[in-house]
Amino acid sequence: MFEAAALNPGGMAPDPAQLMQEMAAGDPRMAMLMQLMQAQRGEPSNDDSIPDDRDNLIAELSERLDASEARLTKMTRIARQLHEAGRVASLRLSRLAAALGACGICWGEDPTCLGCRGRGRPGMMRPDPEMRAELFGTQSPVRDASKHCH
Ligand SMILES: [Zn+2]
């Protein structure tokens, strides 16, 4: 290729087709390869029906792929939103549990809970005063819970 470029000292961009012909002229194998390539390039015009079917199939598959990708993108976005909503709700529930003195894992509903063994209903633990103040202000619905907590 460098030799071919060197043969073109005019600085003009070399014509690829001319380059190929020059290379083929000096190499019988290259000439044969070029004949094969030209034969392949000419083949589709001989029979129009098969390429049309293929083109239609490719177009249809491409459309279906695009639609699938769009659905996947949408579902991924929904999954992320659900995950984020779950995370926020879980955080809010554990803060509420702390404010109410409940088990933040099961709220006293799971006898096999490692945190409370099912005894962590609201008021069973000393409520977190800061969390209570933050969530309920001065009008705490569990104002007396700490007094009753033993
Ligand atoms: Zn629990």
Q: Taking CA 88 as the corner, what is the angle to CA 84 and CA 94, rounded to the nearest 5 degrees? A: 145
Q: pLDDT tens across 64-76, in order? A: 999 999 999 999 9
Give the pLDDT confidence score for residue 62 in this predicted structure: 97
3-class secondary structure, 8: coil
pTM, 2 dp: 0.49
Task: State percent of the chain over pLDDT 70.
Answer: 75
With cut-offs at 50, 70 and 90, classify the pLDDT of residue 137.
confident
**What are the sequence ranges of the domains in the chain?**
91-150
- Asked if 95 and 131 touch (Cβ cutoff 8 Å), the reply is yes
Is pLDDT of 146 > 90? no
How much distance in Å is there from the Cα of 91 to the middle of ligand 1? 15
For residue 92, report the distance from its CA to the centre of ligand 1, in Å: 16
Q: CA–CA separation, 126 vs 144, rounded Å?
A: 11
* Cα 71 to middle of ligand 1, angstroms: 39
Which has the closest alpha carbon to 128: 95, 99, 103?
99
Alpha helices in 8-150 (DSSP H): 16-26, 28-46, 49-100, 129-136, 145-148
- Comparing 48-57, 122-131, 133-142, which segment has the lowest mean pLDDT? 133-142
Token readout for 15 is: 């014509």
Average pLDDT over the chain reads 81
Contact 73, 84 (CB under 8 A): no
Under the banding of pLDDT at 50, 70 and 90, the label for residue 1 is very low
Distance 48 CA to ligand 1 centre (A): 72
C-alpha 118 – ligand 1 centre gap (Å):
5
The pLDDT value given to residue 12: 59
For 45-63, letters b (16+ CB in 10 Å) and e give eeeeeeeeeeeeeeeeeee
Please tell me the distance between residue 8's alpha carbon and the centre of ligand 1 in angstroms: 84
